[in-house]
Structure 1
Amino acid sequence: MDAVDNLIPVLMTVIGWLGTLLLLGAYALVTVKRLRVDGWAYQGANLLGGALLMVNTAYLSAWPSAALNLAWLGIGAVGLVHGRRARLRLRTGARPEPEL
């Protein structure tokens, strides 16, 4: 086993912990009202955290967790798109989309 083979498990562990810290940190900051739930920072942290955890869990063959984190990544992406559209509407003075 060479150095690269030894490094990959460590890298995957670091990736998993970074994803965990991003998701938990973002959630904690929204809870204490330091981040806006519709802001780029929160949605971006969700997207990146979900992506990092998806990579980690797929590497570990934890497929249910990988699927959950893929969904989390998708929800974060949708949140970023909705936030972008809302900001564009505010700039142009367009009417907001109705809530579902």
Structure 2
Amino acid sequence: MTVTLFVEIVGWLGASLVLGAYLLVTTGRLSGGSALFQWMNALGATFFVLNTWWHGAIPSMVLNIVWGAIGFTALWRIWRRRTVKG
């Protein structure tokens, strides 16, 4: 597999994760505060970072860095709440 093909696959996987998360929240199948929703967004954004960097789309890359940081921060908060309640 070439690097270019790998980057494209990662990009499409990222798009699928973010779109899927949005669809699941919009249809009420997931809560915006759920760990699954946050994982889908954080990983999708991370995959987008690689793809957008490769293509030189710096504004999109920065957006996805922030998007991923929000998702990973939410996951950290979810983990802390569960640990404290433990």
Question: TM-score over 0.5 for the alignment?
Answer: yes
1:30-82 residue CA offsets vs partner (Å, 9 max, x unmatched) = 11111121111110111100000000000111111110111111001111011
Letter in 2 for 1:50: A
Q: Quick one: distance in 1 between partners of 2:57 and 2:20?
A: 23
TM-score when normalising by structure 2: 0.91
Q: In structure 1, which of residues 44, 50, 61 is the aligned counterpart of residue 39 of structure 2? A: 44
Correspondences of 1:19-98 after superposition (within 5 Å)? 19-91=14-86
Q: Deviations over 1:71-97 (max 9, x none)?
A: 111001111011112223444xxxxxx
Q: Tell me how far 1:21 sits from its aligned partner.
A: 0.4
For structure 2, the residue ranges without an aligned partner over 5 or more in a row are: none
The structure richer in helix per residue is 2
Alpha-carbon RMSD: 1.3
Greater C-alpha Rg:
1
TM-score (norm 1): 0.79
Q: Percent identity?
A: 36
77-86 or 16-25, which deviates more: 77-86
Say which structure, 1 or 2, has more relative contact order (CA 8 Å, 6+ apart).
2
